[in-house]
Structure 1
Amino acid sequence: MSTIDRRDFLSRLALATAAFSIPPYAFSSVHKPEEFVEVEITHGKIRGIRSDGVAIFKGIPYAGKVSGDRRFRQPAPLESWTGVRDALQLGAPAIQSPRRNEPAPAEDCLFLNVWTPANDNKKRPVMFYSHGGGFVIGSGGSAGQDGTNLARNFDVVVVETNHRLGLLGFLYLDEVAGAGYAGSGNMGMLDIVEGLKWVKENIAQFGGDPGNVMIWGESGGGAKTSCLYAMPAAAPYFNKASIESGPGVRMTTKEIAAETTAMLLKELNIAPKDWRKLLEVPASDLLTMQGKLPFVPPFIEKNKNLGAMRRNYGGFGPVVDGKVLPAHPFDPTAPQISRNKPLLVGWNEDEYTFFAWERKDTEFATLDFNGLQKRLEPQYGGDTKKIIDAYRKANPNASAANIFVAISSITMMGLGSVDIAEKKVKQQGAPVYLYNFGYKSEKKIPGTDYPMGTPHAMDISFKFNNEIPPRDGSEPKESFFGGNKKERFVASHHFAELWTTFARTGKPAAKEVPEWPAYTLENRPTMRIDTTCEVINNRFSQELAMWRSIGKL
């Protein structure tokens, strides 16, 4: 396998996550209804189910159509309905390849799901989750992020949306299509804002507090959360945020987005003045065309020499258009608009092992230190020896494979997370809390004896408290990434309790977990989340000093 740098890993993140289809035995999102529950919301009555102490509503429309003459534009107003509308099945996900156990993808995809302990007018914190999958795949109905256990065990309301993705959600047409398509490069983000507006208007009917809403998300969902944190349109609708393994420090510039649009029009043989022909191209053809263009990563680096955006990015993701997204979310500073909103940010210790699993990379596990040097040189050039030396000094007992995973993992998701924490602290506003998730799965990467450890995406099932013993007392099944060890249930409870307490109060806390101090530039405390949690000051201090010295942080 050839060496792949951080940019390439992240630009392929959507493909990797697309391959990550959780087998049905791993998590069950099928619930036997004990009774039906009816709720009246702004546009009519809906019917959900009550199962195992949780009321569940799926496929609720939160905005109108985005197909036809609404393609690339704000959704049409949602039309009211008469009678009682069933909210028993997931709604269509955004246009993408078919998804396991979900409806066929469709352009009109603006549906959301709600999990609540009860529709009882109690003011519970609302946890509004944005799914991962880069900016091109995923849905609010993925089994691993089922909100049942989080709602039942921690007395919160969970909301997850489907929203436009890829070309249909982020094609920048502002410069060719005029005022009617203003904000076109951020329609996928504005859909999420429509979901937040729906929460403001309706969540009290589900026992949630519209005045206490936490936005959170992992991978691409973390980057979406970074954008929401910086968007004026989203500001009135949430109170705190968590950015997990997807630090959206920078997004696509208008200039690069315009180049991507020009590339697309050329590929379709459409002159810019005839851009309206895009409205007639079948969505399936647009999906095929989307696959020919690069993917946008959850965050974009600066060129350390030019101080400018690298120009080899294309694809479709949020655009810094100066209006919907006024500036890069965390560059050059944390967004002033969210100065007083508490923030969680962090990453998994072994992010890279997910990508090794997905790409069938077994070579890394056999590296010696000479091989490590050769593997990293194409990416880091003259800095390679300095990087390896710093890691060997900080981790004297680590193997070459261990050091490769550590370097790859921190450069993918860690440096951006630290950058966000530091910039948030410098605002001197609401606190920011930095974490590492570190529970170690014993499962081996196929073709190697190297354990998965804490791979990218493993945190999803843990923080949703979906790593728990079966309620019927039967023997637990193996977790897809988390393995067989029963200690994972303790780590999952810690993770979920920390996050739900943060949603409730703005400060993460849990029983049997040390007090988690806010991040400061003096002590740099990091909470390591595991079966036993611990606060580590100045974690990775030697490694981070080295990354700063070569301009990577």
Structure 2
Amino acid sequence: MHTVQTRRTLITGAAALAAFAALPGASYAAAEKRSPVIKTTAGKVRGYVDGEVSVFKGLRYGQDTGGARRFMPPIRPEPWTDVKDALTYGASCPQGKGEEESQSEDCLFLNVWTPAKAKKDSLAGSSLNDGAKRPVMFYIHGGAYNTGSGSHPWYEGTKLARRGDVVVVTVNHRLNAFGYLYLARLFNDPSVADSGNNGQLDLVLALQWVRDNIAQFGGDPDRVLLFGQSGGGAKIATLMAMPAAKGLLHRAVTMSGQQVTAGGPFNATKRAKAFMDKTGAKDLASLRALPVDKMVEGLRATDPIAGQGSVYMGPVLDERSLTRHPFFPDASPVGLSVPMMCGNTHDETKGFIGFDAKAFPKTWDEVLAKLPGQFAGRIDIDPETVIAFYRQTYPNYSPSDVYFAASTAGRSWKAAIIQDEERARAGAPAYAYQVNWKSPKDGGIFGAPHTIDIGLVFGTLDAKGSIVGAGPDSVAMSNTMSDAFVNFARTGDPNGGSLPKWEPYTLPRRQTMVFDTVSRMEDDPRGAEREFFNRVPFTQFGT
């Protein structure tokens, strides 16, 4: 299946060409001189220059995964002899209607931004390898395991690459049923033995591409930082338990996204059956023959484990590529040698309501009715007990304050604490952070919601849909966070710049960097809430 050029990709390519044309004394020949051609292991690729940053979009790191290769592990691309244009983003994995206009099973593409300067002969097709060996900041997008791509405007890497003198990479990979439909117990066919974790294996292949090629773009293959928000963080935590990924990543940051446990094989099989029932597929051949839109339609099957909501897709404990849970019963030994940063935001669940102030609960009865939905599939606790605790602990909190604080602590924050504590117990602690800095959107009523750290780290303050703002306070907070991430990418230690000394998370202190207008170190922030929710076990959603 081939990528279909859509309005977005055409606009992106047109913008690149327009940038060439805007150069002083521009001509086609001048544009060609501003178009670095790099030799990769598969063939030559042509990018473009945005200011002082060379950009390569839609670089193929794997073959088409459609047709007969559906549900099979990824493989390296076939070599080519011509020069492939890398001016527009590649297709995202099929996922239904949304922001991703260009969708295809042929979706194994990545994007590179580099401040490396071309050598005289590199325009003829050699490299941007100037010997600087820059850290590589490899971002994995969120959207759980179901949606998203590496081409979101918040992830545009130009500003981060330029500010940090780093090479930035974003990636597309298989999602939902295309990447995580577990068929190994349904069909005795070796071609689907890895089907429950193909999305993760795509990421491994992308990291192998970085190992083999990133030096040509001015990056250091021995200093690769993985960072990802929400589902991206969960994918990274999972990779840290996968032997196939060992040695391919050298630092890791999970931003409001953790994976304590993976799905079990029996539950994953039940979900695969529910998916097949929804699509009408009866066997492997009919599954492979399903049109893409029917595959996407199958995702609307009711989850047979939760009994509600659409069917969950995510990594599976398949005893092949994933042989143990990432952070249960402890932190996987596979990832203990990798320095780790683990973050969350103070008001995570304010990011799950579409930034609609009308969705704020106004009465205690509303909080009582809504809390169980936030806790479902994660913790089982009496909401009246939760409300009573918060009203006693924070007597000035309104009903909406209690709702968002409790749902954040029970739904989103608990897994981050588990990761931090298991790392600390293993003697390989994480650098923990909490974002308290409030989005200026609508006068700050949304606090520090889920996703706020993305724009702050990338510096994409004025990107479409940004909740960060572009005022002086926003710029200052962005510079502080971005520099910490760059320092971590460079040395495995985030210290330096304007921050106070950042200590790793240890027990029982639980040291945490609180990012705010004035950032500070704090021991066990929200400790009372942590202790309260420790009275009940936490279950990773999907497990």
For residue 454 of structure 1, the aligned residue among 448, 459, 473 is 448
Corresponding letter in the other structure for 2:102? A
For residue 329 of structure 1, the aligned residue among 326, 331, 338 is 326
Q: Cα distance 1:366–1:265, how it changes in 2: closer, same or farther (>3 A)?
A: closer
> How far apart in 2 are the matches of 1:511 and 1:76?
42
Counterpart secondary structure, 1:320: coil
Tell me which residue corresponds to 1:90.
89
> How far apart in 1 are the matches of 2:35 and 2:298?
43
Q: Cα distance 1:419–1:312, how it changes in 2: closer, same or farther (>3 A)?
A: farther
Tell me which residue corresponds to 2:124.
none
Which string of whole-angstrom CA distances, capped at 9 and with x for unpartnered residues, describes residues 101-127 of structure 1?
x65200111110001111223211111
For residue 291 of structure 1, the aligned residue among 300, 303, 312 is 300
Tell me which residue corresponds to 1:302.
none
Deviation at residue 531 of structure 1 after TM alignment: 2.5
Q: Cα distance 1:382–1:60, how it changes in 2: closer, same or farther (>3 A)?
A: closer
> How far apart in 2 are the matches of 1:323 and 1:270?
26
> How far apart in 2 are the matches of 1:123 and 1:62?
21
Q: Aligned ranges for residues 388-537 of structure 1 at < 5 Å?
A: 388-429=387-428, 431-444=429-442, 451-467=445-461, 480-483=466-469, 485-537=471-523
Counterpart secondary structure, 2:432: strand
Which string of whole-angstrom CA distances, capped at 9 and with x for unpartnered residues, describes residues 111-166 of structure 1?
10001111223211111111011111111111111111110001111111110111
Deviation at residue 381 of structure 1 after TM alignment: 8.0
Q: Cα distance 1:336–1:344, how it changes in 2: closer, same or farther (>3 A)?
A: same
Tell me which residue corresponds to 1:107.
105
> How far apart in 2 are the matches of 1:98 and 1:357?
17
For residue 170 of structure 1, the aligned residue among 170, 177, 180 is 180
Tell me which residue corresponds to 2:286.
277
> How far apart in 2 are the matches of 1:316 and 1:252?
9
> How far apart in 2 are the matches of 1:126 and 1:109?
22
For residue 168 of structure 2, the aligned residue among 158, 173, 188 is 158
Deviation at residue 340 of structure 1 after TM alignment: 1.3
Between the two proteins, what is the percent identity of the paired residues? 34
Corresponding letter in the other structure for 1:366? K
TM (norm. structure 1) is 0.84
Tell me which residue corresponds to 2:360.
364
Deviation at residue 365 of structure 1 after TM alignment: 4.3
Q: Cα distance 1:511–1:69, how it changes in 2: closer, same or farther (>3 A)?
A: same
Question: How many pairs were matched up?
Answer: 497
TM (norm. structure 2) is 0.86
Tell me which residue corresponds to 1:75.
74
Q: Cα distance 1:541–1:144, how it changes in 2: closer, same or farther (>3 A)?
A: same
| Residue 140 (1) aligns with residue 134 (2) | no
Report if aligned partners of 1:222, 1:245 keep a CA contact under 8 Å in 2: yes
Segments of 5+ residues of structure 1 without an aligned counterpart are 1-20, 296-308, 468-475
Counterpart secondary structure, 2:95: coil
Q: Cα distance 1:377–1:254, how it changes in 2: closer, same or farther (>3 A)?
A: closer
Q: Aligned ranges for residues 14-413 of structure 1 at < 5 Å?
A: 32-33=19-20, 35-97=34-96, 100=99, 104-118=102-116, 119=128, 120-175=130-185, 176-271=187-282, 274-294=283-303, 314-357=311-354, 360=356, 362-367=358-363, 369=364, 371-373=366-368, 375-376=370-371, 383-413=382-412
Which string of whole-angstrom CA distances, capped at 9 and with x for unpartnered residues, describes residues 263-322 of structure 1?
223333443xx3222111111111111233449xxxxxxxxxxxxx97879421111112
Report if aligned partners of 2:154, 2:463 keep a CA contact under 8 Å in 1: no
| Residue 543 (1) aligns with residue 542 (2) | no
Compute the RMSD of aligned alpha carbons.
2.6
> How far apart in 1 are the matches of 2:369 and 2:143?
31
Tell me which residue corresponds to 2:26.
none
Report if aligned partners of 1:383, 1:550 keep a CA contact under 8 Å in 2: no
Give the stretch that moved more between structures: 514-523 or 479-488. Answer: 479-488
Which string of whole-angstrom CA distances, capped at 9 and with x for unpartnered residues, describes residues 484-524 of structure 1?
64301111111111111111111112412101100011211
Deviation at residue 257 of structure 1 after TM alignment: 0.9
Counterpart secondary structure, 2:446: strand
Report if aligned partners of 2:56, 2:111 keep a CA contact under 8 Å in 1: yes
Deviation at residue 332 of structure 1 after TM alignment: 1.3
> How far apart in 2 are the matches of 1:387 and 1:316?
30
Report if aligned partners of 1:144, 1:461 keep a CA contact under 8 Å in 2: yes
Corresponding letter in the other structure for 2:498? E
